[in-house]
Chains A and B, each alone.
Chain A
Amino acid sequence: MSTNNYPVPSSIDRYGRNGLIAAVVGFAALIISIFTVSPTQFFHSYFLGFMVFVGLCAGSIGLLMLQYLTGGMWGVLTRRIFEAGSRIFPIAAILFIPIFFGMKDLYSWTDINYIKSSEDLVLKAGWLSTPFWIIRTIIYFAFWIIMMVVLNRYSKNLDADPGFKWSRKLENFSGGGFLFHFVFMTLAAFDWMMSLTPAWNSTIYGFVMIVGQGILALSFTIILISIYAKEEPLASIIKPVHLHDLGKLLFAFTFLWGYLCFAQLIVIYSGNLPEEIVWYHMRIRGGWVWVAYLVIFIHFALPFALLLSRDIKRSVRSLLPVAALLFVMRIVDLYWWIEPNWHQEHFYFSWADLAAPLGFVGLFVFLFVREYKKRGMLPLGEPELELTLHPKGAH
């Protein structure tokens, strides 16, 4: 084993502290909103913030498995970041508990009279029943926590016993795990977010959420790597070719996300059926259309155009702002997906919707820094590590 284990620079503590401050401010503001705005708004905003938080955890675990499956330098470079992100899942499970108490404020289907008002909903009543929904949520989190534990334990074994034995096991485990991650995340997206509009459905919904979480976790990772690209131990490792790989992946994710969102739109737009079109209708009425334009042009078109350029992908100075932009736009997009459910006529914005993402992202950063410091920046037992440290121009 190498004597250099690439420790995380101690300057990262500063970000952890700032994260904690943001978390305290955000959550304090969120609690104040119970009394000054309304408990209902508190749950709406809390749910928005939670979806950002769980998106960072789920995106991390998804990308962690993806990089085992594809291999390559980008995965070796980012693995410890994804691992640290995935280890926050138990906290996400705990943070879900308040949502159980807010179900009446979030989900119209908890009201039996509402279910009875429509024949379609009566058919869904078995699936959308509160106890079953809670059990399913517990199963989802159990699945992710088990995945997280196994992936992290295997990775520790890989450090102790470098070589192909454990890296093969990780690859095989990730293959199955990735498949089930898609199944469970799709179901979770249906349960948590799609059922906010219980009469409406879209089969691609889960996939869009998964790719969105991928953008969120990847842009977080790129921001982190860009910050530390100038500082040892990464400064002597990171070369333009590494950033290029990450930039290309961010580009691919952005495009895939846009492609899937459009796939959902065109099917519904072509059909133009009242029960389907309503989802878009409530998102373009009364000022909401400006948020939609923001999502189309700033979340999709602008990063797409910027990331086409090779030079932008290869430099820290230009890749970092694009990643930061996408990170913020992910939150705006989630806001556009969640909030219009309760404000269908007019654009609505409560300051609690700002406090919640601030608190949750701050909390994530704080927890992330704590986890990330534990195991150094690079996987030492990884067979591809040498290639990552000294990339060849020719292959």
Chain B
Amino acid sequence: MKQSKKYPIYGIMAEFETPGAILKAAQTAHDAGYRVMDAYTPFPIEEVSEAVGFRRKDNRVALTSLIGGLLGGLGGYTLASSAAGVWFPLNIAGRPFIPWPMFIPVTFEATVLIAGLSAAIGMLIMNGLPSPYHPVFNVPRFNRVTTDRFFLCIEARDPKYDEGVVTEFLKSLNPTEVTLVQG
């Protein structure tokens, strides 16, 4: 299974048994200067994502959704008002050709639709899903990540990465097991 020639090894992974242990491990690793790492847990733990160095400003889904919503609302309103007011003006009970209250439902629905789609599609593009292959699954025990185990993986892309040093470092965090992850 050759993924990338540049990084034949994806990283080194440590297994932990409690949320507290992984949180502490992630914090220690971040303090030790490691930056390219990820934590895998059976359920979301907000503090852990902060500990591995994920900042909210890195998350562009909200902005994508806002822009999508604004464009959707503008588009919906423009569509309705150009169709009924410009391209084919309809006189309905003497109302103005562009009776804005009548177009609010369309505007609202288009806003919600496009904002929702932008959020969903933007999220998929930005987090790289769907991902049919991911090296972390080369670790057999990693299957337990959806049940009761917590994993911290320091990746080979990290500038401070050195196989020996990182292995020793992870072992010092009292994990259940430390494994080399094939790329």
Contacts and interface: CB of A to CB of B under 8 A. Distances in A.
B102 A393 contact: no
A394 B49 CA distance: 12
B44 A269 contact: no
Contact of B99 (A269, A393, A394): A269
Interface string B97-108: 001011011000
Nearest to B93: A272
Nearest to B56: A310
Nearest to A393: B46
A208 B55 CA distance: 40
Contacts of A265: 101
A266 B43 contact: no
A280 B4 CA distance: 68
B43 A394 contact: yes
Contact of A393 (B45, B66, B95, B105): B45
A269 B19 CA distance: 57
Interface centre among A265, A269, A270, A394 (most CB of B within 10 A): A394
A394 B102 contact: no
A123 interface: no
Given A269-B99, A269-B102, A394-B19, A308 B43 contact: no
Contacts of A394: 19, 43-46
B173 interface: no
Interface string B52-63: 000000000010
Contact of A269 (B46, B62, B101): B101
Nearest to A395: B43
Interface residues of B, number: 15
Contact of A266 (B19, B44, B66, B102): B102
A310 B62 contact: yes
B45 A266 contact: no
B26 to A, nearest CB: 14
Interface in B18-59: 19, 43-47
Nearest to A270: B102
A266 B105 contact: yes
A308 B102 contact: no
B101 A266 contact: yes
A15 interface: no
A84 to B, nearest CB: 33
A262 B104 contact: yes
B102 to A, nearest CB: 7
B44 A272 contact: no
A30 B102 CA distance: 42
Nearest to A271: B93
Nearest to B48: A393
A47 to B, nearest CB: 29
Nearest to B46: A393
Nearest to B19: A394
Nearest to B105: A266
Interface in B66-109: 66, 93, 95, 99, 101-102, 104-105
Contacts of B47: 393
A95 B2 CA distance: 81
Interface string B9-20: 000000000010
A4 to B, nearest CB: 26
Contacts of B101: 262, 265-266, 269
A207 to B, nearest CB: 18
Interface string A383-395: 0000000000110
A220 to B, nearest CB: 29
Contacts of B95: 272
A310 B66 CA distance: 13
A126 B45 CA distance: 62
Contacts of A393: 44-47
Contacts of A272: 93, 95
Interface in A254-275: 262, 265-266, 269-270, 272
A372 to B, nearest CB: 33
A269 B105 CA distance: 13
A265 B103 CA distance: 13
Contacts of B105: 266
Interface string A260-299: 0010011001101000000000000000000000000000
The 9 nearest A-B residue pairs measured at CB: A393-B46, A269-B101, A394-B43, A394-B45, A266-B101, A272-B93, A393-B45, A394-B44, A393-B47
